[in-house]
Amino acid sequence: MIPGDGIGPEVADAAARAIDATGVKIDWERIELNADLIQKRGEVLPNEVMDSLNRTFTGLKGPVTTPIAGGFQSVNVALRKRLDLFANVRPIRSLPGVKTRFQDLKLDMVIFRENTEDLYSGLEHEVVKDVVTSLKVITRTASIRIANYAFDYAKATNRRKVSAVHKANIMKLADGLFLRCCREVASGHPEVRYEELIVDNASMQLVIRPETFDILLLPNLYGDIISDLCAGLVGGLGIVPGANMGEKHAVFEAVHGSAPDIAGKGIANPTALMLSGVMMLIHLKEMDAANRLQTAIETVYASQGAVTRDLGGNATTQQFTDAVIAAMK
C-alpha cells in the first residue's frame, strides 16, 4: 500500500477498510512515498518502495504529487519503467445514480494504453537556447505486447470490438509501426472486430456516440489523454479505477490527483481507489471478494444515500466507506 500525497492517505485507508470488509485476508505493507519524502531523499523510488514491490509483486497506490515543468520525475512513470508495467488498463463504466449527459447509455469500455515508451520516454534535448526536441519512441516489441494484451482480454471477456487509435496520417513511421503491429495481432483474432481511428476523430466520436466503443488500444500519450476524456463521460476521475500491469508486477491506482485543497477535510471520494481495489482482487483471483465490493459500491450509488460532495452529495469519506461496508453485510 502506497498512500501517497494530499487526499491519498484518506482514500487509501478507506479503500483498505472496504477491501478488508469483503472477508479476504490481506496483510497490508504500508510504504510512505510522497513529494516531501522524494525531495528530502533526492530519489523518486527509494529502496524500501522497490524492495516491498519485489516481495509482494502487487501494489495499491494513492496519488503522488508531480511537479509541473520542472522538479522530480513522475512517480508513475518511474514505477512503470522500473517494473516494466507495460499495460495501463482503465475500465470506463457508468455507475448507477451518477448524473451525466450519457447516464442512460450505461457505458462500458476498457482502455489499453502502452505504458513504457512514446513521448513519455523522456528523451528531451535543448538543441540551442529556446529550441527543444522531444523524441517519440515506438518499438515493435512494446506495440505487439500491448496489442496482444488487449486482444487476449477481449477474447477472455467476450468483448466484441477493438479500436486502435493513432495519428499515422502525420507520423507515418512511428504511428505507422504501432498500427502495423495492431493489424498483425488482430489478424490472429478473427472473432474480434478490429477498426482504426485517427486520434482527433476518435476524440470527437467519443463525445458524440461513446456507446459505440468497446476496447480502445492506444500508444502512451494518446492513451493518457483519451482515458481522462473517457473518465469525464461517466462522472470524472474520482470514480474511475486504473491498473498498471507487467509480466510479474501489478500496481493498481486511483488516476485522480492529490487534491491538496481538500486534504485532511474528510470529504474526499474514495471510489476510484476502491474500484482499483476491485481490479486488484480480480488479479489476485479473489473473485468473490471483488464481486462483493463492486456490488456494494454500485448499491451505495444507486441509493444516493451516502454520496460525496464531488457528485452532489453530503457524505464524508468515512460515511461513504461505512455505507459500502454496510451494503456488503
pLDDT in tens, 68-104: 555 566 788 888 989 999 999 999 999 999 999 998 8
Active site residue 120: yes
Helix orientation angle between 317-328 and 287-303, rounded to the nearest 10 degrees: 120
Find the catalytic residue in 13, 118, 175, 224: 224
Active site residue 285: no
User: Which cell goes with 127?
Assistant: 538543441
For the chain, the structural domain boundaries read 1-85+249-329, 99-234
Measured distance CA(9)–CA(17) in Å, rounded: 12
pLDDT for the residue 70: 59
pTM: 0.93
Average pLDDT over all residues of the chain = 94
pLDDT for the residue 163: 98
pLDDT for the residue 71: 59
pLDDT per residue as tens digits for the range 40-77: 888 888 899 999 999 999 999 999 887 655 556 678 88
Mean pLDDT of 107-136: 94
Phi, psi of 232 (to 5 degrees): -65, -25
Alpha-carbon Rg for the chain in angstroms: 20
pLDDT for the residue 37: 83
Q: Which CATH class is domain 99-234?
A: alpha beta
Find the catalytic residue in 155, 200, 248, 265: 200
Active site residue 224: yes
Is the domain spanning 1-85+249-329 CATH 1.10.10.60? The answer is: no
Reading phi first (left if > 0) and then psi (alpha if -120 to 50, else beta), residue 181 is in: alpha
Q: CB-based contacts of 195: which residues, under 8 Å, 6+ apart?
A: 161, 162, 163, 164
Active site residue 200: yes
Find the catalytic residue in 13, 61, 149, 167: 167
Find the catalytic residue in 5, 13, 61, 120: 120
Mean pLDDT of 270-299: 97
